Structure 1
Amino acid sequence: MKNRRWNRATGVAVCLLLAFALSGCASMSESQCRQADWSARGLADGREGRSAQRLDDHVEACAKIGVAPDRSAWDKGWEQGIRSYCTASSGWREGLRNQTYWGGCRGQAGEDAFMNHYQLGQQLYSLQQQLQRNDGELQRLEQVLRTVKTDEERANVRAQMRRLDIDQLRLRALITGMHLAAPR
């Protein structure tokens, strides 16, 4: 009996996951296709850093219901949006948030500035993540220090904590220096 319930529950879960996965493939819903302001859609796609091929996703999604995007209007909106996206400050912001780069700046005027600052932002994001991991490890070691029984164990834990403290100082210095590279 338990096996049947588990199998039914598993079957339902698999069906729900498949339905969710299939529904998530379309770039736009049926109602979005029918009501689209293609210039505004292009502007939004550009501001998100989507590549020009994003329009192909919309064509595919909307073709299922017989709607054809206005390519000219979408292109005009996208051009405006991508210009505002492909900047040093946008690259910095996207990198700092560890956002996916969709390739929208390829071949655009601001590509180099965007990519340089995107990579710097990602490096800073990684340093901040390491700082947090180290903080967590220091807290764990503080707990361990309270429970160790021998002087040798205490000395070992304290040595690990000193190494982490030194690494934290190094990371903080790097982070401070990286903030100086932020676009103004």
Structure 2
Amino acid sequence: MIRLFLALAATIGFGLFLASCNTLSKEECVAADWRVIGESDGAAGYEPQQRFAAHAKSCERVKIVPDQTIWFQGYQAGLVRYCTPLSGLARGQAGSGYANVCPPETVPGFLRGFGLGSKQHELQARLSSMQSDYSNKETDIDELSDKLRDAKDGDRSELRRRIEDLEDDMHDIRRDQRDVQDDLDRVNEDVEWFRRNPNAELPAPGY
């Protein structure tokens, strides 16, 4: 795998992996403990080829060449901490992505947690979006109501119609919110069960 890293870097060039920012400062490159950096990268679930290439690009500025062998040893150690069911849950809850880095023997557990956490994150985001939409429509109704008080007779029916449409939309949002909240309550229960039983399959399928 290390030879693959070197061949990839030589063929494609480190610059393709790092568009605009440096993963390490000049000072960090000079003082780097590559095993510690690799372990941190593995524990964070970074894709290894791209992450090491980015470090190498960052350290070109001070003519430091990262020790790929030592870095990768640390990376593998960090990956052990990353590829657990509870880590997968936390990553999913945070809305993080997954770079397909876990070895085959740990993938099922990690993905069980990751899928469950991602579902919880998605439902929470939907509820938040619905509440924001509801609040925006409330504001629109307040503004239209202010206009209605000063409107001419010819404009009043149109303003009332727009207010009624917004009220209908708000009613629909509240109905949908209840459905999503029910789904979220069920997922929250599964999350609590999973925390207590991280190495077991969920009792009900679906996430």
The TM-score, its normalising length taken from structure 1, stands at 0.72
Distance 1:37 1:164, change over 3 A: same
- The residue type equivalent to 2:48 in the other structure is A
Q: How many residues align?
A: 162
User: Is 2:189 the partner of 1:180?
Assistant: yes
Q: Does 1:72 align with 2:97?
A: no
Q: Relative to 1, partners in 2 of residues 1:160 and 1:57: Cα closer, same or farther, differing over 3 Å?
A: closer
Per the alignment, residue 46 of structure 1 pairs with 42
Structure 1 partner of 2:98: 101
Secondary structure of the residue that 1:27 maps to in structure 2? coil
SS at 1:41's partner residue?
Answer: helix
- Partners of 1:65 and 1:144 lie apart in 2 by 56
The correspondence for 2:84, drawn from 83, 87, 97, is: 87
Identical pairs, percent? 23
CA distance in 1, matches of 2:82, 2:71: 16
Task: Give the letter for the 1:160 counterpart.
Answer: D
Q: Say if 1:103 and 1:33 are closer, same or farther in 2 by CA, change over 3 A.
A: farther
Counterpart residue identity of residue 40, structure 2: A
Please, which of 53, 57, 68 is the counterpart of residue 54 of structure 2? 57
Match of 2:119 in 1: 123
Which sits farther off after the overlay, 73-82 or 155-164?
155-164
Q: Structure 2 CA distance, aligned partners of 1:60 and 1:142?
A: 51
* Deviating more after overlay: 28-37 vs 66-75: 66-75
How much does 1:130 deviate?
Answer: 1.6
Name the CA shift for 1:144/1:80 in 2 (closer, same or farther; >3 Å): same
**Uncovered stretches (5+) of structure 1, i.e. residues with no partner:** 1-20
Give the partner amino acid of 1:27: T
The RMSD of aligned alpha carbons is: 2.6
Structure 2: 5+ residue stretches without partners: 1-17, 149-155, 196-207
User: Cα deviations across residues 59-88 of structure 1 (Å, max 9, x unaligned)?
Assistant: 343355333323333223212211111112
In 2, distance between residues paired with 1:70 and 1:47? Answer: 18
Please, which of 9, 25, 29 is the counterpart of residue 29 of structure 1? 25
Alignment of 1:159 with 2:168, yes or no, is: yes
8 Å contact 1:86–1:108 — kept in the other structure? no
Following TM superposition, the consecutive aligned residue runs of length 4 or more in structure 1 with deviations greater than 6 angstroms are: none
Aligned to 1:7: none
| 3-state SS in 2 of match to 1:36 | coil
